[in-house]
Amino acid sequence: MKVTLCIPLYNEEAILAETIDTVSAYMTAAFPDHFEVIFIDDGSTDNSKAILEERCSGPVRYLSYQPNRGKGCAVRQGMLAGEGDYIIFTDCDLAYGLDVIPEMVALFDEHPEYDAVVGSRVKHPEGYAGYSFPRKVVSKTYLSLLRLFGGLSLSDSQTGLKGFRRDVAKRIFALCEVDRFAFDYEAIKIGQKCGYRFGELPVKIVNHRPSTIRFFRDTRRMLRDVGRAKKRIKKLKID
């Protein structure tokens, strides 16, 4: 059993070296000889690529392209390149820690009916611990809008932690097109249209960073992308 961990990034030179070292050491201990890590540089304009070139080796590798296209594109590239039996993505700041990786693998093993697993802050009693009140309101409003306008039934679609069985990842992400705000929504909805079953893993943030989301501007963009994705998925022919 091999695990692929994909980590999208954009202009992360301040934390990237530490993240590479931390992830490499953790995965080596947790999955000796049975893992790969793929960092996906989404068109960074800082020193990120040079750091990747210097520190990535062996089962820790990277992909890089220009120009910046968005997190959705980076995740898609990683998912399609991954070779593991389970392909998981998380954020470069390791917001949910790394213990969630073996927890997610264990959940897959315990539930063979799950084709994909999504991290859920809503399901965790401390899922929003450490959030400021405005950020908590923004996050929960996003989720409410996605359920209302996008028809999502999962409790939390927006965590930067999701995992897929390899054949499921290849099928879903080969059909994805959204590069930015609604890529999570698109992947989940395509997966559900394919008949895949999603499990949820309770998670909480352990590494907090200031949010870069601008609520009104980004909400408009998200709803626009959700609307486009929803129309396209409705017409999508699934073999």
Question: Domains of the chain (ranges plus CATH)?
Answer: 3-235 (3.90.550.10)
Tokens describing residue 142 = 């996003």
Could you tell me the pLDDT band of residue 137, with boundaries at 50, 70 and 90? low
Could you tell me the pLDDT band of residue 32, with boundaries at 50, 70 and 90?
Answer: very high
Structure tokens at 12: 């992360």
**Model's pTM, two decimal places?**
0.90
* DSSP alpha helix (H) spans, the chain: 16-30, 48-55, 71-81, 100-110, 133-150, 166-175, 183-193, 215-235
Q: Which residues 6+ apart lie within 8 Å of 126 measured at CB? A: 204
Give buried/exposed letters for 167-180 (b at 16+ CB in 10 A, else e): ebbebbbebbebbe
pLDDT band at 181 (very low <50, low <70, confident <90, very high): confident
* pLDDT tier for residue 134 given thresholds of 50, 70 and 90: low
Query: Could you tell me if residue 33 is left (phi over 0), alpha (psi between -120 and 50 degrees) or otherwise beta?
Result: left
> What are the angstrom distances between the C-alpha of 107 and each of 57, 119, 140, 148?
29, 11, 25, 29
